[in-house]
């Protein structure tokens, strides 16, 4: 059901009667809502492939790696997720035969995740679907997408992403 008003505008109006920081509150609430909407759309696109966006990102990371494999710790760093999340993601991908876990040849404590041929094929198919759906951001043109990315960059930089 579509509301006859913007609930975030209304929340900001109410907020302003009690507290300061209306622009920041409005922006963060909008950002969080868009994140929910986009992630829901991406997960819906990936569900027929047996993937979530988190698992898809892990597979893409392995495709981008020079050997098709990475230590789980390095995957966590690059995906910016907790080590237990990486273990869970890799376990699910392994159960679907999209990756295999192998002992690291040089570091006996480390485990590598290696993408399989089936994983590579699935990445290609799923990527076509995501690109075809404009990653859920089809209402924005290329200029707006670049502006959005640049607008968010200082927040990511301040958080230590890079």
pLDDT 10s digits, 24-64? 999 999 999 999 999 999 999 999 999 999 999 999 999 99
Q: Is residue 1 part of a domain?
A: no
pLDDT 10s digits, 83-99? 999 999 999 999 999 99
The mean predicted confidence, pLDDT, of the chain is 96
Is the Cβ–Cβ distance between 140 and 148 less than 8 Å? yes
CATH number of residue 126's parent domain: 1.10.10.10
- Domain hosting residue 77, numbered range: 7-158
pLDDT at position 61, please? 98
pLDDT 10s digits, 64-84? 999 999 999 999 999 999 999
Q: Is residue 127 part of a domain?
A: yes
Q: Is residue 57 part of a domain?
A: yes
Cβ within 8 Å of residue 85, ≥6 positions away = 54, 76, 79
What's the CA gap between 160 and 50, in Å, rounded? 32
Whether pLDDT at 113 is above 90: yes
Helix, strand counts (H, E) of the chain = 7, 3
Q: Is residue 2 part of a domain?
A: no
């Amino acid at each position: 059901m579509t509301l006859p008003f913007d609930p975030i505008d209304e929340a900001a109006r109410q907020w302003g009667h009690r507290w300061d920081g209306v622009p920041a509150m409005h922006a963060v609430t909008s950002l969080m809502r868009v994140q929910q909407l986009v992630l829901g759309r991406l997960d819906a696109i990936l569900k027929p492939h047996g993937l979530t966006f988190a698992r898809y990102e892990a597979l893409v990371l392995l495709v981008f790696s020079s050997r098709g494999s990475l230590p789980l710790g390095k995957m966590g760093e690059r995906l910016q997720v907790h080590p237990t999340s990486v273990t869970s993601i890799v376990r699910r991908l392994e159960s679907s035969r999209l990756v295999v876990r192998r002992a690291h040849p040089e570091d006996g404590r480390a485990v590598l995740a290696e993408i399989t041929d089936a994983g590579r094929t699935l990445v290609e198919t799923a990527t076509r679907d995501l690109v075809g759906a404009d990653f859920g951001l089809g209402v924005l043109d290329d200029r707006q997408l670049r502006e959005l990315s640049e607008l968010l960059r200082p927040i990511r930089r301040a958080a230590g992403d890079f």
